Amino acid sequence: MANTLSLFWDLSSASKKERVNATVKLVSSLEKFQAQHTPQVSPGSEDDEENVGPTDGLDTLNAHDVVYSIRRLIRGLASPRESSRLGFGVALTEVHTFLFKALHCTSSHLFPSYFLGWTPSHVLK
């Protein structure tokens, strides 16, 4: 985890090259963590500081570093800095892509609690 934490600062860099390099390094590290992870059979029900609610499946399917990174990348999308939003958005897209391929699942399996109850505004009209 220690080697990935510094990459989040680079994702916020004003330099496109630094953001891309940080994304490549982050995704590479997370792929290694995920490859070593053994998914849990049954989800737990304990709340965690970083969880939006009770265990949402994200913890059971993914390595701890991957879970932490996904949550941090999602939070980074709300940053007031444009370069942060760009870097975190690209990194989140790349992480989603490798997890989607590795787990053969959909976005709702990877991020269930973040999209629960969300309805696009054009549907409400």
Pairwise CA distance, residues 83 & 13, whole Å? 6
The structure's pTM equals: 0.69
- At residue 36 the predicted structure's pLDDT band, cuts being 50, 70 and 90, is confident
User: What mean pLDDT comes out for the span 49-77?
Assistant: 76
Q: Per-residue pLDDT averaged across 98-119, rounded?
A: 58
Choice between 46 and 61, residue whose per-residue pLDDT is larger: 61
